[in-house]
């Protein structure tokens, strides 16, 4: 699991993409958009509940640790390399996710739809 930063209109209006990545199949399993909060992470976790995930591999963000208490949770850079590479690919393919770019989303709805459509084409079909 990982999260990726984006913004709508101005960098102060942050929009986060949370998603789960299956490193064996090299595909996104589920994704949600929102603020970088426990509520958004909870929405992603509820989407993943039917999959019966055995091992959770994340970076060291403290909310992951508190949300995944009691589960097999591995925090190592070695295991998050593929999802971090996927974050880079998203930034390369979708200019609106670039950190320093003239391209940016003007509305939350379009931001979510464009990124969601990209993920749908690349991973869910």
Check if CATH label 3.30.420 holds for domain 2-120: yes
SS3 49: helix
pLDDT surpasses 90 at 97: no
Residue 46 confidence (pLDDT): 95
Cβ 16 vs Cβ 35: under 8 Å = yes
Distance, in Å, from the CA atom of 10 to the CA atom of 43, rounded to the nearest integer, reads: 25
pTM over 0.75: yes
pLDDT surpasses 90 at 71: no
Q: CB 61: neighbour CB atoms within 10 A?
A: 15
55 CB-near residues (< 8 Å, 6+ apart): 72, 73, 74
Residue 101 confidence (pLDDT): 75
Residue 28 confidence (pLDDT): 94
Orientation of helix 108-119 relative to helix 81-93, angle to 10°? 120
């Amino acid at each position: 699991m990982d999260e990726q930063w984006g913004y709508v209109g101005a960098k102060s209006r942050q929009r986060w993409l949370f998603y789960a990545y299956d490193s064996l199949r090299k595909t996104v399993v589920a994704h949600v958009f929102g603020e970088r909060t426990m509520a958004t992470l909870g929405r992603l976790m509820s989407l993943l509940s039917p999959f019966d995930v055995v091992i959770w591999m994340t970076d060291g963000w403290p909310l992951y640790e508190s949300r995944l208490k009691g589960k097999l949770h591995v925090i190592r850079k070695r295991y998050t390399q593929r999802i971090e590479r996927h974050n880079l690919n998203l930034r390369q393919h979708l200019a609106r996710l670039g950190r320093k770019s003239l391209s940016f989303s003007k509305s939350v709805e379009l931001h979510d739809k464009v990124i969601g459509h990209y993920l749908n084409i690349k991973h869910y079909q």
